[in-house]
Structure 1
């Protein structure tokens, strides 16, 4: 939406929702809220040529799915790839049958097949969705999208902007570079070349002058940890990884590993034409520019906390997990390809699974019981550790001062030890892994079982 278009229609918008918006899925099948068609599509990301991407509904960015807290949503997924896929709803506490992990929670969606997802989100916030098969390629080529759960009662922001952060592995002509290399998978992961927000380089978004703005950032990248900062001093962190924080705090800088999200709130400058810019380190991510008459907002709306059950820390069982390198010799498959295994959880590398071969869980938890996980990163690289099906509380770290907060993904730095706690209240077999995609594909993955 450019400035002229905005001015033309702004008088008709008594309440501004999402500016600019990402196209929603159109014409779903009867009885469904959304239909996602997974298929190859040429998209323009680079300046000099199209990219042969894999997309939802034929374009990038993917449709933003918007659901309502405590209300059911039905989504039909149609697989038009030449390989199986699934869809995982990252960060959502939903039944195991809807979690989208092949073999562990559902059969793969084979080429030409459909799968119907239906669930009721208990939490409001910023989430996202992606396949959980052939993840390096399917996510790397574009199968990533934002999932927004609106609060049961509208908190009253004047603009709600959704931004997916992704570094594309593409050349200037749009062709793909290598999505992964063994050398990089053994380290931090293979970096992309082109940093984008919603598929654009350093875009500008127009917001109402003097309005209360909610900026939702989702790291949908395979590899990169973003260091979010801004020279403006009045930006406030209001939610982390889909969960409002009890005491919103000013943005200094915030590290977002792959899979993580961040909601920022701010009062827009009062005069038309003023800007607010977000950076990754010292690189411009995107810019907001004000237009229209001053809305004269003075305070940010407060977000209600999500209904997360508090763990009993006095009776919680402590389970320790160490994330480290695998020093073993990697096996060679019958076709001559090396089965790279670089990473381990408690000295066990994930070796994949099939319908007939489900490995043992890393831990078996008793439903309704409180647990403390002690997470030790015994490597020099960042690991965003993600747990499916649950929201946990980050309690403490040996590397930083922690104000306890709720999340589904915790970023562990070099030699960092963190403690997280949660109630195992969602039965099923839940994936538990690093969200640097090359790390999970080369061993840094497993699952816990809640019975």
Structure 2
């Protein structure tokens, strides 16, 4: 299948063409996911994300004595529990336990975090979107918590944005899967929205008896189940002229997904926790790699009674995972709000010096035996660094996926720009996660701003594929 990708230029947000992915039909015209969802392939999903993006128990927030002085705390317990994935049959899982709510903090908060590990295996917390906190870097800055152990540390939240917390870094091949947790760090000056919603999408592999298997294991005949906020479907009602902020998180273990919200304009405001130049998603559809987060604004302007389906496609089939209904209640206001201004910057550099950048070639994907420089997470501290860089220097990574399947790359601690093909510019958004098609090379650039040792993850988009790691040092 041919894939047509439209490139986003660096013109002003009012004139630039938004990035998008779309499969081409036999007549060469762009096909529409609404009319032909089976035509969307895994290759098309990866083209949209790798070439040019478009792109039950919870951890608790509990007050502490420090919170009375303005510092919140986060008490975590890793332990056995169940999920309601199959009707009438609780599914055993390993959870971060606590109150049943989304984690919400404010930019500038310092959190007192405690972790108790009541699992029979070590646990390493992974916090995607956390800006450059070396002492919280899993495995390299903070050792895994042994079974029965306890840990406590303080974590400053420098960046506002949508983040993802999980204990799955060491989870490949374990006895049970572990779901992820969504975390919201609100801007110091929040934008004007009526509601701030989180859609955390996850995937599970269920056997016929309702039990689930962890990634890194052969799924055999296990069925694939997608959930949104821990449930098979999500129904959301909104009033006319209401503005919704939807934080869409791909918490899947291995699946690249496309999400389409029918008959609604989707304005992308942030990618992977960092503000973007706002743009409208073509055909109201987004592509997200595992770990990707997209903040989107939706202005409800359709008549009362309008129902918009939430369609998810994983490259194999489309399925409905929810609906957005325009209610008959009184409108939120007389008219829709004007187009929003960009979200406030987190202080990332406006420009990157590519001419004097340190340039590194990395090959990703494949089995550990075929590429011994990539190791399983448990062995990363015994491995050699991929490279070292001085603080304040720009790094350009040329990432090449030489395998015959798509792969996902995640950079710890440092957001990056996706470069244009000729290294003559970059896309107007920041990322920390990137998907690459088989055989594809992409170049990314980041400012090595934070001293410390930082991980890089790579894995193929197959359930049984191992999660592999390398690391680099800023010193």
2:172 is paired with a residue whose SS is helix
1:169 is paired with a residue whose SS is strand
CA–CA distance in structure 1, aligned partners of residues 438 and 465 of structure 2: 20
Structure 2: give runs of 5+ residues left out of the alignment.
Answer: 1-55, 67-71
CA–CA distance in structure 2, aligned partners of residues 74 and 30 of structure 1: 10
Who is 1:308 aligned against?
348
Structure 1 counterpart of 2:112, from 44, 50, 74: 74
Contact 1:233 1:251 in 2 (8 A): no
Matches within 5 A, 1:120-139: 120-131=156-167, 133-136=169-172
Who is 1:320 aligned against?
361
Contact 1:216 1:263 in 2 (8 A): yes
Deviation at 1:311, TM superposition (A): 2.1
Who is 2:97 aligned against?
57
Indicate whether 1:411 and 2:451 are aligned.
no
Contact 1:349 1:443 in 2 (8 A): no
| CA offsets 1:198-256 (integer angstroms, 9 cap, x no match) | 11112212333320111111111111110122332512222111122113232433321
Indicate whether 1:218 and 2:249 are aligned.
yes
User: Which one is further off, 427-436 or 361-370?
Assistant: 427-436
Who is 1:93 aligned against?
131
2:471 is paired with a residue whose SS is strand
User: Kindly tell me: are residues 181 and 33 of structure 1, through their superposed partners in 2, closer, same or farther at Cα, counting changes over 3 Å?
Assistant: closer
Deviation at 1:89, TM superposition (A): 0.9
Who is 1:349 aligned against?
374
CA–CA distance in structure 1, aligned partners of residues 132 and 170 of structure 2: 23
Indicate whether 1:157 and 2:193 are aligned.
yes
CA–CA distance in structure 1, aligned partners of residues 301 and 86 of structure 2: 32
User: Kindly tell me: are residues 304 and 191 of structure 1, through their superposed partners in 2, closer, same or farther at Cα, counting changes over 3 Å?
Assistant: farther
Matches within 5 A, 1:16-415: 25=60, 27-31=62-66, 32-57=72-97, 63-99=101-137, 101-102=138-139, 104-131=140-167, 133-136=169-172, 141-171=177-207, 173-177=209-213, 179-181=215-217, 193-252=224-283, 253-269=285-301, 271-281=303-313, 282-291=318-327, 292-296=329-333, 297-302=336-341, 303-309=343-349, 310-326=351-367, 341=368, 344=371, 348-353=373-378, 358-397=382-421, 403-415=427-439
Contact 2:352 2:447 in 1 (8 A): yes
User: Kindly tell me: are residues 128 and 66 of structure 1, through their superposed partners in 2, closer, same or farther at Cα, counting changes over 3 Å?
Assistant: same
User: Which one is further off, 29-38 or 174-183?
Assistant: 174-183
User: Kindly tell me: are residues 200 and 175 of structure 1, through their superposed partners in 2, closer, same or farther at Cα, counting changes over 3 Å?
Assistant: same
CA–CA distance in structure 1, aligned partners of residues 459 and 262 of structure 2: 29
User: Kindly tell me: are residues 116 and 220 of structure 1, through their superposed partners in 2, closer, same or farther at Cα, counting changes over 3 Å?
Assistant: same
The alignment's TM-score, normalised by the length of structure 1, stands at 0.80
CA–CA distance in structure 1, aligned partners of residues 353 and 426 of structure 2: 19
| CA offsets 1:359-385 (integer angstroms, 9 cap, x no match) | 110111111111111111112322221
User: Kindly tell me: are residues 74 and 444 of structure 1, through their superposed partners in 2, closer, same or farther at Cα, counting changes over 3 Å?
Assistant: same
2:92 is paired with a residue whose SS is strand
User: Kindly tell me: are residues 165 and 42 of structure 1, through their superposed partners in 2, closer, same or farther at Cα, counting changes over 3 Å?
Assistant: same
CA–CA distance in structure 1, aligned partners of residues 459 and 361 of structure 2: 19
| CA offsets 1:301-322 (integer angstroms, 9 cap, x no match) | 3322321123211211211111
Indicate whether 1:448 and 2:469 are aligned.
no
| CA offsets 1:108-151 (integer angstroms, 9 cap, x no match) | 22233322242222221111011255322579623410111111
Contact 2:244 2:298 in 1 (8 A): yes
CA–CA distance in structure 2, aligned partners of residues 111 and 273 of structure 1: 52
What is the total number of aligned residue pairs between the two structures?
A: 403
CA–CA distance in structure 2, aligned partners of residues 34 and 443 of structure 1: 27
Contact 1:68 1:124 in 2 (8 A): yes
| CA offsets 1:25-72 (integer angstroms, 9 cap, x no match) | 25455435221221111231211310111112268xx64221211232
2:182 is paired with a residue whose SS is strand
2:269 is paired with a residue whose SS is strand
User: Kindly tell me: are residues 262 and 110 of structure 1, through their superposed partners in 2, closer, same or farther at Cα, counting changes over 3 Å?
Assistant: same
User: Kindly tell me: are residues 418 and 169 of structure 1, through their superposed partners in 2, closer, same or farther at Cα, counting changes over 3 Å?
Assistant: same
Contact 1:382 1:411 in 2 (8 A): yes
Contact 2:76 2:115 in 1 (8 A): yes
- Coordinate RMSD, CA, aligned: 3.0
